[in-house]
Chain A
Amino acid sequence: MTQSFPFPRRMPVRITFGLGMLLLGIFGFVPAVGVLVASFTDLRGIPGLPIDFVGIQNYVDFFSPAKWADSANALKNTIIFAVASTVVQIVLALGIAVLLNRSIKGRAFYRAVVFMPTILGVTVTGLIWSLIFNVSGGPAASVLNLFGKHSAFFGDPKLALALVILVQVWMVIGISVIIFLSGLQAVPEELEEAAEIDGASSWQRFRNVTVPLLAPSITANVLLGIVNALQSYQLIYVLSGPNNRSTQVLSLLVYVQGFGGASGTTLSQSQGYAAAVSMVQFVLVAIVSLIALAILRRREAKL
């Protein structure tokens, strides 16, 4: 019994696991159910106001012609943001991980540098890049000025989303690199050597030996990247503000509707509507994640 159950008694385990489940239930499951219930009401941001049950009206509103331009815009931006940031992040992270897996001088320092943006947090990251892309005298503007060019950066509707994706990748790439590094260190050297003896080039060894063995790391990174990107709004909020249409993603729409109002307007905080949007987002995240998981698992199984 001790071999298969490495604890002295079952009761403490049950209690600690039970407490964990209780915390998860209270702070995870109950709020999730609460959001679902709220999505069928006209809940507002101010306490003390009457709350009415409105059925599926909030969902109807989301897909209604009046709101569809906003909803479609947010959906489009969300998908572009999630796909682009995940793909760029994974490709770059893999390249960096391969480089940092080699025995180069100062490897530990470079690894620390790559991981550093991850610990800075959204606000500091946002501040740094706001300063870099400051239109009046920021470093990026100064470089453009050298070529006689100028840009509004986060204020340019054609450029803003791309810049936000760049910053998102910069901020989270460290985690992907760490995951890939751990995967690379698990690749047996004998396989590489055997491939080399068989005459495989560096690229062929990487393509046919390393990448297949990194499949679990790729799965983890893709899922983390997609879920993170689909739920992320804080960075966009800090960089380009809550009401910039060109960077408004679903999660930002939830924030704006639920908590933001809009400066200079009489708009109410519609937390019931925001809850409905977040349920749509939940379904989107679930579908995309499940499809990605299925594809990646099938690929892992083939390998």
Chain B
Amino acid sequence: MATTKLRGSTLTRRLFTGLAAAAAIGVLAACSSATPQSSDGKPSGKLQMLVSSSDATDAGFRAINAAFEKQYPDVDVVFSTVSNDNYPATKSSRLTAGNLDLFVVKGMMETPSYAKDAATDDARLAQAGGLVDLTHESFLAKYTSSLLDAQAIGGKQYSVPTGVSYYTGVFYNKKIFADNGLKVPTTWSEFTAVVDALKAKGITPFGVGGKDSWPAGLPMLASVASLYPHATDKQQLAKDLWTNQAKLTDPTEVKVLQQTEYVLQNAQQGAAGADYTSIPSGFAGGKFAMTVDGTWDQPTIETAVGGKFDYGYFPFPGSDNAADNALLNGKTELQLAIPSSAKNKTAALAWLKFFSEKKNYETFLAKSGFSSAQPGISTSTFLQSIGEYTKSYEPAWDQIWFANNKAGQDAVFPFDYPALKPLGSKTPEQAAEAAQKAWSAAG
């Protein structure tokens, strides 16, 4: 009978259950085991590091990590790299789990009074004491003071800027330009003439990776850079929008969307469904003559082109006044911070000091493609070639604009480029109207 049989195997099953429970507890305990810590003196143990990924910067960090482990053999750098879209979720879970020693923070800037409720998560984290204060660390003195000033929160420093990127420019195929007698345009009318000439020859003007959405926003940022050429112009626009002194349906704001749409409409077939990562190979294959992209992608483009032709980079000429298009706009890249909950602060501080040393920093810049955040550092041939466009640092629009969490998605950027054809289904005027409606409704 079943009952008797069950009784006969009770002991075995209890033993099995007990062993299974013990194993489960063991596994759970192993999962939550603490990272080995270093003492106050020599760095040792595991250094948990998390960054948002790109091929070039990952290569730069890996080179630094290898050199760091060579100098500090007792340290094991556990390097994690996560895509931009997944980075906030990963950062959140790793911070909650308390297994981060060094990580990338974003949006480290003082929140203006008109947008006081729109402070970024990382700025709030710094203010709440969640990041280690680096203000008095000697290695920070190596960095450009204006960059440090821009990232100060409450007058204190919480992060190390790993470099500067510019992303309001256009990579162009010099061979295609030369073959068709085209010169680098410096005004909007010259730019449209170049596009018309390319189209007349059956050459696709632009490559855009629209599937990832944000790359299609680069022409928008580039247009703002030209139409609001100085930081003060952008700051005034941001303030005017927040205080409802300006509208997204005003002529210049609509022009931003019109110029963005112009690029999208003259992009390769299927641009709205193309991956960002497919653009360098498309550019290298001559499928299009230009792409609006950031200098962070130059090492990838360089590898893809492989010396088949020369290429260059010029500021997006959105204005008909060439002087307004003279400078590239940029941002401080991948700021590294130490969370207060870090278990291995000693190793994290040692890593930042090691990274900041001239020789190591040059190694990182050579691989990452970033412009230097330290004065007196030699830069790549490409960065030297765009020196005239970067002689004075101008922050890009997304470094000034604070999105309103209360507003709808149409007003996030707030220029509603995702709504434009072919990404969406709206004209620039309709997209501007939708953005203004979402913005006004948020109060």
Q: With A and B bound together, what is the CA distance between A244 and B213 in angstroms? A: 8
Q: With A and B bound together, what is the CA distance between A260 and B96 in angstroms? A: 16
A-B contact pairs, 5 of them (CB 8 A): A46-B95, A48-B125, A245-B419, A246-B424, A259-B88
Q: With A and B bound together, what is the CA distance between A142 and B128 in angstroms? A: 54
Q: How large is the interface on A (under 10, 10 to 19, 20 to 34, 35 or more residues)?
A: 35 or more
- Chain A residues near B437 (CB, 8 Å)? 69
Q: Which chain B residues numbered 399 to 443 have a C-beta less than 8 Å away from chain A? A: 401-403, 405-410, 412-413, 418-419, 422-425, 434, 437-438, 441-443
Q: Which chain B residues numbered 142 to 192 have a C-beta less than 8 Å away from chain A? A: none
Contact string against B for A residues 1-38, beta-carbon threshold 8 Å, 1 for contact and 0 otherwise: 01000111000000000000000000000000000000
A157 interface neighbour in B270, B408, B424, Cβ under 8 Å:
B424
User: Is the Cβ of A46 less than 8 Å from the Cβ of B130?
Assistant: yes
User: Is the Cβ of B6 less than 8 Å from the Cβ of A268?
Assistant: no
Which residues of A come within 8 Å of B, CB atoms? 2, 6-8, 44-50, 61, 64-70, 133-136, 141, 150-158, 240-246, 259-270
B10 interface residue, CB < 8 Å from A?
yes
Chain-A contact segment, one of B65-73, B248-256, B272-280, B313-321: B272-280
Q: With A and B bound together, what is the CA distance between A135 and B1 in angstroms? A: 66
**Minimal beta-carbon separation of B177 from chain A (angstroms):** 23
User: Is the Cβ of B273 less than 8 Å from the Cβ of A261?
Assistant: no
User: With A8-B6, A266-B107, A267-B412 given, is the CB distance from A156 to B124 under 8 Å?
Assistant: no
**Minimal beta-carbon separation of A231 from chain B (angstroms):** 18
User: Is the Cβ of A270 less than 8 Å from the Cβ of B128?
Assistant: no
**Minimal beta-carbon separation of A64 from chain B (angstroms):** 7
User: Is the Cβ of B405 less than 8 Å from the Cβ of A268?
Assistant: yes
User: Is the Cβ of B406 less than 8 Å from the Cβ of A69?
Assistant: no
- Chain B residues near A269 (CB, 8 Å)? 88, 92, 121
- Chain A residues near B124 (CB, 8 Å)? 44, 46, 49, 268
B205 interface residue, CB < 8 Å from A?
no
Q: With A and B bound together, what is the CA distance between A185 and B130 in angstroms? A: 61
Closest to B279 in A: A136
**Minimal beta-carbon separation of A67 from chain B (angstroms):** 5
- Chain B residues near A261 (CB, 8 Å)? 88, 121
User: Is the Cβ of B278 less than 8 Å from the Cβ of A155?
Assistant: no
- Chain B residues near A70 (CB, 8 Å)? 408-410
Closest to A255 in B: B89
- Chain A residues near B340 (CB, 8 Å)? 48
